[in-house]
Every structure is written in C-alpha cells, then in structure tokens.
Amino acid sequence: MRDADTTGAWVLVVDDDKTSARHLASAVSSFGHHAEVSHSWTDALARFERRQFDLVLMDAVLPGVDGFRLTQLLRSRARSYVPILFVTGLHETRAKAHGYSAGADDFLTKPVEPVELQVRMTAMLRIRRLTVDLESKRAALERAANLDALTGIANRRQLGPRLRDELERCVRYGHPLSVALADIDHFKQVNDRFGHPVGDEVLRCFGRTLSTHVGDPDAAFRMGGEEFVILCPETDVHGAASLADQVRRAFAAASKTTAAGRCSVSFGVSGSCALGSEATPDRLLATADEAMYTAKRSGRDCVRIYGDANAYHLPTAKAS
C-alpha cells in the first residue's frame, strides 16, 4: 500500500460462494487494489501467513470453521494490525456482536453497494496505514532507546536484561558464560590533549572494532564513558580472553587512523564457572571490573582473567 493514499493495497477476500467472491474481488480491483480470493478457512489462513495483507473482506458463514473463529485465528497470527471487514448475509445484532467480540472491525450486509464498500474500505485502510506508521515509529524509538547514539552498539539499558537471561540459560543447561569488560586506556588524556571531538572519534573507532570482531551484534555494549562490555554466552574465560585480545590488537591498529593516534585498551574477564553459585549479573560485572583494574596496574594494553595471577597477554607497547 502506498503511503500517499489508500490505493494499491493487498486485500484478502474470503467467501465460499464463488460468485460473491468474484464480484467482491472485481470491485476491489476497480478501486485500485490487489485482490486474492479464498474459498475456505484453511486456504485463507495459509494465504494470510504467506503475504502481508492490508485488509480482509470475509463472509461470516464458511464451511468447517466460521468467519468468527477464522477472525480469531487471523488475529493470533497477524504480524501487525490488519482490519477485518465482514461482508455477510447475516444482519442480526447478535451475529454482529459475536463478530466484534471475535475481532472484526466493521460489518457490511449483502448485497453490498460498491460506493459503500469503497468508502468503508478506504476508512479501514486509512486506519491500517496510520497504525503501521505508529508501529514503525515506536519500533524506531525503541531501537534508539536501546542503542548508544555515539557508537551505534547496544547501551547499558540493554545489557541488564540480556545478561540476566543468558545467565539463567547457562545455569539451566550447564553452559559457561563469560563477560569481558573493556576500558580505553588514558582516555581522559585523549580528551584533554585533543578535545572531546577526537575523544568521540576514538570511541566510535572502538565501537566499530567491536562490531567487526564480536560475532553476535547484540553482544557488545557501551556501559558509559570509555567502558564497554562483551557478553560471551557458551564461552569459558579463556575463550572470552582470546576474543578480548583479538579486539585489543585490532583496536590498536585501527586507532592509528584517528587524530589521537594509536590508542590501547585494557580488558578484564570473568565467568560463571569460576564464580559457581556466586554467579549473578552484578557479581560477573564486578569481578570483570576487578580484573580490568588488575590489567591497568599490570601496565595496561593487556587482558586479565579474574583470579588468574598472570596477564593473558603482556603489553605490546606503551599505552598512549
């Protein structure tokens, strides 16, 4: 359906009377829409699941499953709001009440005047378009609320629920879960020496590095400032440390193109296996944070695992 008007819509016509269905489909086409015809509830349901329709025109009387029950089935499978307009020989108030309760939006009684059909369809399609627009804007706002505006990766708001869900899953199935907490080294000095726009450039560079090297696009998070987290489901601390070291090396190379020159990052890694029954979302992050500060004290530009006396990798160069 085109946004500028209510023409070009896809309309599903459901009627077991082939003559009635043909007349409805012809009228729909004459109004500038695309019609698909179905003569049974099973075929209608299959078509509805294959194509995103903008409107359904349906008789209440169908063999096997009536239009009221079919309406409930369509509503349960709809990916978004789709108006359902009954075009039926039933005119009793009780039948209409049943239809509205099932999820119908409007009723037309046969025989239908083409002008009235067009007016009702236009009204339904207008509501459909406005609803789709609202759903799209809401989804965009939700995405924006869950993403860090500067780096484009997930923000701290997203981390909490994801970490909690993954930890519950790892406990249920006995799989490991690790987190790697990153802190860009001497970031305050970058801002003080080169200015905040260059600092933002460095943050964006690290965000791109994470997006490139972390396989799951929903597993990298910016905590705030220069702190980031990588969530590593079904990965022990050594696997997470290996990934963190790949990111560390890649960032050292990529940051050379920024106005700040080569920058480094320190990582701390912790995992559910090492913590055992003490593994909670807060405890995982706190112990990863401890390991990260151990990496800082070890000279920066390295990866430390919580509880491990040795740096996973020694610094490769003096941090800038």
**Alpha-carbon gap, residue 69 to 75, rounded angstroms:** 10
Identity at 278, one-letter amino acid code: E
Q: What is the SS3 assignment for 233?
A: strand
DSSP code of 308? -
Dihedral pair phi/psi, residue 224, rounded to 5°: 135, 150
CB 177 within 8 A of CB 237: no
Q: How far apart are CA 106 and CA 28, in angstroms?
A: 17
Look at the chain and count its residues.
320
The shares of helix, strand and coil residues in the chain, as percent rounded to the nearest 5, are 50, 20, 30
Q: Confirm whether 226 is a catalytic residue.
A: yes
Residue 11's closest CA among 42, 34, 45, 40?
34
Q: Which of 226, 227, 234, 278 is catalytic?
A: 226
List residues with catalytic annotation: 226
